């Protein structure tokens, strides 16, 4: 990122806060599994003059003039998305993951009809039918849970529920599920009950693109995703599909739900998709998983209780209560020590979401900085120490200094300090 001289002159207050956030992102070990560092190229496209243009409609069918370059940019983004994920239809206009999911509901289900998704407390997402969200308010939502012992999705239970409620649509995928999704198994259930299978791959899109997690296609007919998590693009969303519902999906995004697409984001998505098609990115995505497995192993050795015992993807969910601390104070202590994560419920959590039993961590950001399995014992050690000295401010500050020094050895993409 440049020094932003125009911003410094026009609004020193905001300029200074952005610089401070830049330093924070540089000096912290960032373990929130939905975050990453976008490349400088992605950031340049995001901050470009494409911000200035309105383009309601789709390439070749717009409601505003002056689309000769925008049409080409959006077409390139669409074609790259189709090629990367091996699908015949892509919509790159959703503003993010929730609007992408909302558009799919609008395309496929009428208010009051039945949908099924993984419950939020078990690693699903708000938009998968949770009560306070539009998906639980406007639709008849049936939520499946993970197995109480293994904390894995149990397809027998999913099938029993599906046969009982006969949903129009089944969502799979989640935000705090550390294991592989059996898309083929879900597809068998969806077919048996006549439901459309939708895979929300927001968290794992980069892993899917690189072959580090199985692809939902051709099992699911639709996949939704954000573009800024493991995919490492700008903040945005996409809907990928086998084409069966292409017209309904496009109509649902615009004019059903949104107005003009964010053209600067569309261009940055195109750049990120080009990056994601490289061998470098494939290595990156496999390293994300290798790092998560190595970190999980080291945390296990230090007595942390990992949900499902470990991980197959980029994220680790930890019940920290056996360490004599709850999720929120643990996350706050880690933050004071220079490690960023989020507190999170664990399956069947007896505690409330705002003060739960767990923390959620992941490796996309640290892997973007070039960290490998070699660094994971050290990170596990800092997590262990910070949780042990959670009430000792001075001890936490000492860890933060060590971490800031350590981070200097791993320059973050997109950040020049």
CA 17, chain centre distance (Å)? 25
The residue (of 101 and 215) whose beta carbon lies closer to ligand DSN is 101
The residue (of 128 and 298) whose beta carbon lies closer to ligand DSN is 128
Instruction: Count interface residues toward ligand DSN (CB under 6 A).
Output: 4
The residue (of 263 and 363) whose beta carbon lies closer to ligand DSN is 363
Q: Helix, strand or coil for residue 132?
A: coil
| Rg from Cα positions in the chain | 21
Q: Is 157 a catalytic residue?
A: no
Question: Which member of 40, 54, 282, 384 is catalytic?
Answer: 54
Say if CB 404 and CB 351 are below 8 A apart.
no
Minimum separation from the CB atom of position 178 to ligand DSN (A): 12
**Interface with ligand DSN includes 345 (CB under 6 A)?**
no
**Interface with ligand DSN includes 344 (CB under 6 A)?**
no
Minimum separation from the CB atom of position 416 to ligand DSN (A): 26
Minimum separation from the CB atom of position 71 to ligand DSN (A): 30
**Interface with ligand DSN includes 97 (CB under 6 A)?**
yes
Minimum separation from the CB atom of position 238 to ligand DSN (A): 14
The residue (of 31 and 325) whose beta carbon lies closer to ligand DSN is 31
Task: Provide the edge-to-edge strand list for the sheet that holds 237-241.
Answer: 89-91, 237-241, 222-226, 196-200, 169-172, 114-118, 140-144
Question: Which member of 235, 282, 323, 398 is catalytic?
Answer: 235
Q: Helix, strand or coil for residue 185?
A: helix
Question: Which member of 30, 168, 179, 229 is catalytic?
Answer: 229
Question: Which member of 127, 215, 226, 311 is catalytic?
Answer: 226
The token pair that represents 399 in the structure block: 């860890």
Q: Is 400 a catalytic residue?
A: no
The residue (of 78 and 306) whose beta carbon lies closer to ligand DSN is 306
The residue (of 30 and 385) whose beta carbon lies closer to ligand DSN is 30
Q: Is 235 a catalytic residue?
A: yes
Residue 170: C-alpha distances to residues 122, 221, 282, 303 (Å): 16, 11, 30, 37
The 8-class DSSP code of residue 374 comes to: G
Q: Is 200 a catalytic residue?
A: yes
Q: Is 227 a catalytic residue?
A: no
Give me the residue label for tokens 């998590």: 229
Minimum separation from the CB atom of position 339 to ligand DSN (A): 16
The residue (of 125 and 328) whose beta carbon lies closer to ligand DSN is 125
Half-sphere exposure of 330 (CA within 13 A, CB side): 30
CA–CA distance, 100 with 270 (Å, rounded to integer): 17
Minimum separation from the CB atom of position 116 to ligand DSN (A): 19
Q: Is 278 exposed, middle or buried (0-12, 13-18, 19+ CB in 10 A)?
A: exposed
Helix (H) or strand (E) holding 142: strand 140-144
Nearest 5°: CA angle at 48, between 46 and 52? 110
Residue whose CB is nearest to ligand DSN in the complex, by number: 34
Q: What is the largest CA-CA distance in the chain?
A: 63
Q: Is 226 a catalytic residue?
A: yes
**384 backbone dihedrals φ, ψ, rounded to 5°:** -60, -50
- Selected binder of ligand DSN within 34, 224, 357, 363 (CB under 6 A): 34
**Interface with ligand DSN includes 175 (CB under 6 A)?**
yes
Minimum separation from the CB atom of position 75 to ligand DSN (A): 28
Is the peptide bond preceding residue 295 cis, with omega within 30 degrees of 0? no
**Interface with ligand DSN includes 36 (CB under 6 A)?**
no
The residue (of 138 and 235) whose beta carbon lies closer to ligand DSN is 235
**Cβ neighbours for 298, distance < 8 A, ≥ 6 positions apart:** 376, 377, 379, 380, 381
Cβ neighbours of 178 (radius 10 Å): 26
Give me the sign of the Cα torsion angle 45, 47, 53, 58. positive
Minimum separation from the CB atom of position 38 to ligand DSN (A): 16
Site string for ligand DSN, 113-142 (x = CB under 6 A): ------------x-----------------
Question: Which member of 40, 56, 248, 297 is catalytic?
Answer: 56
Task: Provide the edge-to-edge strand list for the sheet that holds 342-344.
Answer: 305-306, 315-319, 358-362, 342-344
The token pair that represents 42 in the structure block: 């992605």
The contact set with ligand DSN (CB under 6 A) reads 34, 97, 125, 175
Residues known to be catalytic: 54, 56, 200, 226, 229, 235
């Amino acid at each position: 990122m440049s020094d932003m001289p125009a911003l410094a002159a026009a609004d020193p207050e905001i300029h200074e806060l952005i610089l401070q956030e830049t330093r924070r992102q540089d000096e912290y070990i960032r373990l929130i599994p939905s975050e990453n560092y976008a490349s400088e190229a992605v950031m340049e496209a995001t901050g470009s003059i494409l911000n200035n243009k309105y383009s309601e409609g789709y390439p070749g069918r717009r409601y505003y003039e002056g689309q000769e370059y925008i049409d080409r940019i959006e077409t390139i983004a669409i074609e790259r998305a189709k090629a990367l994920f091996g699908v015949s239809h892509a919509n790159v206009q959703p503003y993010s993951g929730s609007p992408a999911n909302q558009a799919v509901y609008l395309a496929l289900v009428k208010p009051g009809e039945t949908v099924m998704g993984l419950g939020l407390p078990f690693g699903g997402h708000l938009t998968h039918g949770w009560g306070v969200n539009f998906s639980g308010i406007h639709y008849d939502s049936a939520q499946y849970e993970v197995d109480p012992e293994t904390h894995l999705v149990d397809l027998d239970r999913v099938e029993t529920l599906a046969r009982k409620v006969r949903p129009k649509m089944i969502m799979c995928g989640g935000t705090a599920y550390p294991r592989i999704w059996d898309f083929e198994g879900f597809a068998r259930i969806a077919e048996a009950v006549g439901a459309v299978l939708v895979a929300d791959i927001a968290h794992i899109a980069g892993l899917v693109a690189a072959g580090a997690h199985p692809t939902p296609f051709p099992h699911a007919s639709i996949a939704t995703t954000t573009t800024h998590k493991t995919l490492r693009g700008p903040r945005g969303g996409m809907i990928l599909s086998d084409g069966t519902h292409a017209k309904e999906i496009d109509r649902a995004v615009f004019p059903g739900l949104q107005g003009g697409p964010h053209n600067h984001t569309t261009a940055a998505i195109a750049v990120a998709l080009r990056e994601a098609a490289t061998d470098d990115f494939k290595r990156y995505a496999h390293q994300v998983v290798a790092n998560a497995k190595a970190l999980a192993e080291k945390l296990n050795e230090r007595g942390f209780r990992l949900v499902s015992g470990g991980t197959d993807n980029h994220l680790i969910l930890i019940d920290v209560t056996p360490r004599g601390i709850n999720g929120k104070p643990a996350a706050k202590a880690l933050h004071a020590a220079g490690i960023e994560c989020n507190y999170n419920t664990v399956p069947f959590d007896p505690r409330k979401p705002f003060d739960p039993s767990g923390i959620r961590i992941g490796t996309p950001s640290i892997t973007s900085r070039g960290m490998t399995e070699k660094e994971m014992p050290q990170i596990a050690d800092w997590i262990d120490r910070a949780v042990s000295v959670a009430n000792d401010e001075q001890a936490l500050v000492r860890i933060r200094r060590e971490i800031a020094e350590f981070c200097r050895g791993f320059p973050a993409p997109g950040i020049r300090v």
